[in-house]
Amino acid sequence: MPNNAKNFVISSTPLRVSFAGGGTDFYDYYSKHEGALVSSTIDKDIKVTVKRHNEIFKEGFRINYSKSEIENNLENIKNDIARECIRLVGINYPLYISTISDLPDKSGLGSSSSFCVGLLNALFNLEGKKISSDELFQASIEIEINILKKPIGIQDQMAAVFGGLNFYKINKNGNLDINRFEDNSGYVINNLFKNLILIWTSIQRNSSDILNEQEKNISKNISNLHFIKNLAFEFWDLINNKPNAEKVGNLLESGWLKKVNLASKINNKEVTDLYQKCKSLGAYGGKLSGAGGGGFLLMSLEEKQIKNLIEGLNNYNKININYNPNGSRILFSE
């Protein structure tokens, strides 16, 4: 084992909420028109543990996530992200991987990309390889988009790697311009997050069908995507001018009403009914996180109204969220 290699590593990688610009991070859009997004990492994360597995166990790979896998052959690993991360980093010895997530997967908070980024970060550290944030970002795109051909954009990887509340401009060549929100007093960020709440729809969905359709529809949705991109600029201006819950809710809703036109399964009756119920209980507006179809509703309302909403939605789980300035990081390494 090389001198700088490790035996046991734990990484922590945040989940994220996207405020505006989702959909403009697809290659077919930003390569022609440039993309723009505003998102923030939150105080919910995915922790990944990787360990050199003792050969005495007679196991090539033991992987624990929502399922458990024990395989001797890399090709037989069903978790496609784990398999390709191991392959890309070049690990050829027995390996133990375990994950813990604060919130369910398939919920619109970027969990798949957070897992990918967190696992890559841990595996590179295990190997004693130092990589930059840009290299980690590119490696995660290589896995999810280039190798696994997932019909996704690049916003989830951006948030997972770089962390914080940011305005991202995606240039036509794929390079990023990142404008990080600086709030030394914490006033604006605290004021923003105290008026936000996540409502769990209890619907976990595979987003591939929605995203495949959305990707195919890009050419005929250009006007909607331009509108959504412009909202990212408006949202960033709002944040930089002391936002209030009503203005945030109105902007989130404007984006949501355009987003439902991008693919047929983004919205459904249960989501619509829950959204309207939230508004009747005092929410100004919001959006469904991620690709759509289920997951979490992100709603904006006055802090004093949150108790009323929680009591009115007694059949749904509610999650308070706070700001997390960190991207993927190594918590422990020995």
10-residue mean pLDDT profile of the chain (334 residues): values are 87 97 95 98 98 93 96 97 98 96 91 97 97 98 97 96 98 97 89 95 75 82 94 96 93 92 81 93 93 87 94 92 97 97
pLDDT score recorded for residue 320 = 94
**Token pair of 110, please?**
């970027």
pLDDT score recorded for residue 202 = 83
CB 49 within 8 A of CB 97: yes
CB-based burial, 168-193: b 16+ in 10 Å, e otherwise = bbbeeeeebeeeebebeeeebbebbb
Closest CA to 174 of 277, 321, 31: 31
C-alpha span between 257 and 6 (Å, rounded): 49
> In sequence order, what are the residues at sequence separation of 6 or more whose Cβ sits closer than 8 angstroms to the Cβ of residue 272?
none
C-alpha span between 44 and 322 (Å, rounded): 8
Closest CA to 263 of 23, 30, 20, 16: 23
pLDDT score recorded for residue 329 = 98
Helix axes 222-239, 245-259, angle to 10 degrees: 170
pLDDT score recorded for residue 266 = 77
pLDDT score recorded for residue 333 = 97
Query: Interior CA angle at 111 toward 79 and 21, to 5°?
Result: 130
CB 299 within 8 A of CB 308: no
pLDDT score recorded for residue 2 = 67
pLDDT score recorded for residue 142 = 98
Is 82 exposed, middle or buried, given 0-12, 13-18 or 19+ CB atoms closer than 10 A?
A: buried
pLDDT score recorded for residue 204 = 75
When computed from its CA atoms, the radius of gyration of the chain, rounded to whole angstroms, is 20
Q: What is the phi/psi pair of residue 160, to 5°?
A: -65, -35
C-alpha span between 327 and 181 (Å, rounded): 14
C-alpha span between 28 and 49 (Å, rounded): 35
**Token pair of 318, please?**
């509610």
Q: What is the pTM of this model?
A: 0.95
C-alpha span between 66 and 134 (Å, rounded): 29
pLDDT score recorded for residue 206 = 67
C-alpha span between 187 and 129 (Å, rounded): 38
pLDDT score recorded for residue 268 = 86
pLDDT score recorded for residue 245 = 96
Matching residue, tokens 């100004």: 284
